[in-house]
Structure 1
Amino acid sequence: MSNLVSSALGFLATIYIARMLGAGPLGVYHLVVGLVSWLAIVGEVGISRAISKRISEGEDQAEYVLAGTTIIVGLFVLSTCGLLLFRERLVNYVGYPATGYVIAILLVVLVNGLVNSLLVGLHLVHVNGFLSPVRTGGRALVQIALIVAGASTAALFIGHIAGYIVVIGIGTYFTARALPGLSRPRRYHFDRLVDFAKFSWLGNLQSQMFSYTDIIVLGFFVSSGLIGVYSAAWNIAEFLILFSGALSSTLFPEMSSLSSKDNSRAVARIVEQSLSFCGLFLIPGLFGGMLLGERILRIYGPEFPRGATVLTILIVANLLMGYQNQLLNALNAIDRPELAFRVNVVFVGSNVALNIALIYLYGWIGAAIATTISVAISLVLAYHHVDAVIDFEVPAGEIVNQWIAAVLMGGLVYVSLWAETTYGLLNHNVATVGILVVIGAGTYFAVLLIISRQFRTVVDQNVPFDLTLLSSE
């Protein structure tokens, strides 16, 4: 729910920004955010994920915190020196004097990553989830306030930094309460962090490359306006993968703890559950994107509907990535980061090569296709590795149920859209999109509740009313 609220706030803020400033400033902003995401990988080389893993094991928590913080601070200083050295090239690439903003955003991103890793490692994922909408809401409020006051591109950067500062303060408070204190680490603690991070850093690279490689490469070939349209399509597609990401964050410390106790059967059950539900929003979202993509993008402004085809392809990429993330999450949780590393090497190599080649040949459509193909390849490899070390079964029945419900939903939305287009029932794009989304979502979940016993059970355990009327028993 936190992730959904966060994404909804970001969606509304992006619509306002796009309408007030246009696609150009939005493209510059996302180019800088994408660049910082890459720099953040260099600035912490997987240490945050290593901190989560070691702290979740329950031993020497205070020592690992101080050891990880020391490494990240040192790497940030080196990254800052590099940015200052090449600031002229940075300005030429971005098309805006953003060096100071890049350094400031990099700092808050690294500190936020450290705080998040502590919250996850300490099993405070509910607090970590709560911070996401707070960060997005704070960012949006500051950005919109500055735009109203007359600022332009700078407002986007200042708001971005402000949102992070707020959640860093809140997260630090909760971690300080949960930690027993700080203790001087020994070389052993540094070594164990580095041993995990030397494999897991590529997982961070894979995550950022999935979201930003195409945008970074597009920066060399197309205008900032086109990047703004592409980024809007990405934001919509990534909204659908939020539930999958929430599953990964929630289940990682549980699998890690069970794995350290050699409870392999329990780990396998969690993997099966994660695969059962990671497509819960992505599968119907694919049908919704195909049918309503152009109308949804029209909400951003007249420049944006041309990204409808890109949006559909990117939803496919996110669907595949949702399953891949669950499998890699399992490998990292059971302390097999070297296997996740192999998957990520394949993804990184294929993603860079395909993006350069296909963007050169086909433009931004090539970028979306390159991302989708590289994810598909890495998904197959991830399944191979997980299947070799964990005795689990793919929940094919539950996945098929989701596809059946999505097909029925798509049919109803298609008929409703045809009726509205033919007879002009509303003649209002936003109202049409809102009503069709509600109709589609209601149909999908109603059908799924009827045909899926597992889904009924999970919902029944998490809602305050009885679902026995829908049960076939």
Structure 2
Amino acid sequence: MNIGKSSLKLFAANATGALSNFTGVVVFNRILGGSLVGSFFLFEAVLGLLSIPSNFGIRDGVEKRISEGTDQGSYLSAALLLKFIPLVGIASLVVVFRGYLNDYIGQDFALMLVGVLFLREYAQLSLSVLRAELRVGETAALKMVRQVSWLLIGVGFLYLDFGVESLVGGLAVGYGLMFVGGWYRVSTRPARPSLSHARSLFDYSKFSFVSSVGGYFYSWMDIVIIGLFLTQAHVNAYEVSWRVTMVVMLFSRALATTIFPQVSRWDTEEAIERIENLLPTVLLYSLLFVVPAFFGVLVLSDEILQLVFQIELPGVGIVLVVLMGEKILQAIHVVIGRSLQAIDRPDLAALATLATISVNLVLNVVLVWQFGLVGAAVATTVSFLVNTALHWHYLRQFLRIKIPFWQLGWIIASSAGMGIVLMILKSSLNISSISWLFAVIAAGVLVYLGIVLVSPSIRNDLFQKFLSLS
């Protein structure tokens, strides 16, 4: 597997999907308004919550065990069976408590949760199997189809006057297409499982389950708590800010997704030196877009939210800045976190996650209650700092990680230079329209690329060396 090419392929597809997601958030906010779109975001938050016990870490267990190359069909069959029972139980609970769920979400969405949950879990499982088969690049188009479908089908349903239900319908169709396409591409065929296969999956998944809980807390717990203390309009404002910052994580996540099965295979082969040579380059590349994005948002946060999304709630610009700063931590974490799991130490990842969950939950409740949206952003950032530091500490116990200080410093300096140019443009121009905003952002991108590519080390060594890795 060529890691560079697979990452670029996954990044290109993710970028297309993210553009669809970004466009959808803009369009739906302008048509439906912040409160109704906020209800959909709460629907997604509950869906994420239900996916934790529905999955119980099985997807990560499948990816790890199948990537090891033995008894692949038996592990697949065991996973299919292990997932079905909790899904049925959770679906039953949703039906029983649908009234409470509908009141919390603000729409009659509870029964839709059941169908979308089944589609989501088995669609995502197919992608885990493809990644385990070292076919990471092939998952790119499937993820893109899901996000593009949400936009296109959602707009189509809106045209037919289905209201906010259009967004749920688009999500369901997207997962349905991912389900069909994913299982059509999977080459591993089910085989008779044994109790030992199920036990092996469970032994890995029970730790991965804790990490998945941490992932949910990171992605959705702030939204859940904002939904308890504030309005659906506040939910929408925070989630829009979150999704803006997630755009810059596309390539970092593509890298982390791509290296997992390869690092897992090298770990099995005891090729530790190859892993140690890979990680510094991947870490640096992971930060290449995130650092300049922080400096850009530091200057243009209010303009982005007001002109593009028509969000003018007090303090939301600060929320966007804090969350973008947090993405610097996440860009590091996605690489070292997946690497720690790939070397078969999900137990240590679980320990780090348990500490983070406690910090996240306590800080979110206290800070959202006291400071609103800004409190949620600070709580998420502090908890993720703890998470990243612990994962780094644990990974350093097994691998030597060399930090490329010079190249990293040049990226920071290039980003700061871009930020200064943006400040000058902002003070001299009247950024009163989306076209002017995008023009200023484009100018900032060109300035950053112009400065960062001056470095021969980054221009030649980093790019060419990474693309040649396999």
Instruction: Report if the CA contact (8 A) 2:329-2:388 is conserved.
Output: yes
- Taking only aligned residues, the RMSD between alpha carbons, in angstroms, comes to 1.5
Match of 2:451 among 447, 451, 463: 447
- Determine the structure 1 residue equivalent to 2:416: 407
TM-score, scaled to structure 2: 0.94
Query: Residues of 1 paired with 2:304 and 2:185: CA distance?
Result: 38
Q: How does 1:380-419 map to 2 (within 5 A)?
A: 380-419=389-428
Query: Residues of 2 paired with 1:242 and 1:204: CA distance?
Result: 19
Query: Residues of 1 paired with 2:460 and 2:446: CA distance?
Result: 15
Match of 1:279 among 271, 279, 287: 287
Q: What is the Cα deviation at residue 47 of structure 1?
A: 0.3
Query: Residues of 2 paired with 1:55 and 1:368: CA distance?
Result: 37
Match of 1:35 among 43, 46, 65: 46
Query: Residues of 2 paired with 1:68 and 1:136: CA distance?
Result: 26
Match of 1:196 among 204, 207, 216: 204
Offset from partner CA, 1:82-112 (integer Å, 9 cap, x none):
1112212111211211111111221121112
Q: Does 1:223 align with 2:231?
A: yes
TM-score, scaled to structure 1: 0.93
- Determine the structure 1 residue equivalent to 2:346: 337
- Determine the structure 2 residue equivalent to 1:264: 272
Query: Residues of 2 paired with 1:304 and 1:101: CA distance?
Result: 32
SS of the aligned residue for 1:450 comes to: coil
Residue type at the aligned position of 2:408 = I
Query: Residues of 2 paired with 1:95 and 1:324: CA distance?
Result: 34
- Determine the structure 2 residue equivalent to 1:121: 132
- Determine the structure 2 residue equivalent to 1:163: 174
- Determine the structure 1 residue equivalent to 2:60: 49
- Determine the structure 2 residue equivalent to 1:90: 101
Q: What is the Cα deviation at residue 138 of structure 1?
A: 1.0
Residue type at the aligned position of 2:415 = A
Query: Residues of 1 paired with 2:340 and 2:418: CA distance?
Result: 34
Q: How does 1:247-396 map to 2 (within 5 A)?
A: 247-304=255-312, 306=314, 307-396=316-405
Q: What is the Cα deviation at residue 458 of structure 1?
A: 4.2
Instruction: Report if the CA contact (8 A) 1:210-1:371 is conserved.
Output: yes
Match of 2:438 among 434, 439, 442: 434
Q: What is the Cα deviation at residue 299 of structure 1?
A: 3.3
Residue type at the aligned position of 1:369 = V
Cα distance change of structure 1 residues 459 and 274 upon mapping to structure 2, 3 Å threshold: closer
Residue type at the aligned position of 1:125 = V
Instruction: Report if the CA contact (8 A) 1:255-1:270 is conserved.
Output: no
Cα distance change of structure 1 residues 452 and 236 upon mapping to structure 2, 3 Å threshold: farther
Query: Residues of 1 paired with 2:196 and 2:309: CA distance?
Result: 55
Offset from partner CA, 1:54-87 (integer Å, 9 cap, x none):
1111111111111011111111001111111221
Residue type at the aligned position of 2:197 = H
SS of the aligned residue for 2:287 comes to: coil
Instruction: Report if the CA contact (8 A) 2:308-2:434 is conserved.
Output: no
Name stretches of at least 5 consecutive residues in structure 2 with no aligned partner. Answer: 1-11
SS of the aligned residue for 1:58 comes to: coil
Give the total of aligned pairs. 455
Q: What is the Cα deviation at residue 189 of structure 1?
A: 0.7
Match of 2:152 among 135, 138, 141: 141
Instruction: Report if the CA contact (8 A) 1:139-1:163 is conserved.
Output: yes
Cα distance change of structure 1 residues 198 and 452 upon mapping to structure 2, 3 Å threshold: farther
Query: Residues of 2 paired with 1:126 and 1:272: CA distance?
Result: 22
Q: What is the Cα deviation at residue 459 of structure 1?
A: 3.5
Query: Residues of 1 paired with 2:168 and 2:290: CA distance?
Result: 30
- Determine the structure 1 residue equivalent to 2:78: 67
Instruction: Report if the CA contact (8 A) 2:94-2:111 is conserved.
Output: no
Q: What is the Cα deviation at residue 457 of structure 1?
A: 3.4
Residue type at the aligned position of 1:364 = L
Query: Residues of 1 paired with 2:69 and 2:26: CA distance?
Result: 44
- Determine the structure 2 residue equivalent to 1:469: none
Instruction: Report if the CA contact (8 A) 1:18-1:300 is conserved.
Output: no
SS of the aligned residue for 1:390 comes to: coil
Query: Residues of 2 paired with 1:163 and 1:129: CA distance?
Result: 14
Q: What is the Cα deviation at residue 397 of structure 1?
A: 2.2
SS of the aligned residue for 1:30 comes to: helix
Q: Does 1:13 align with 2:17?
A: no
More off after superposition, 366-375 vs 385-394: 385-394
Instruction: Report if the CA contact (8 A) 1:15-1:299 is conserved.
Output: no
Name stretches of at least 5 consecutive residues in structure 1 with no aligned partner. Answer: 422-426, 464-473
Q: Does 1:79 align with 2:90?
A: yes
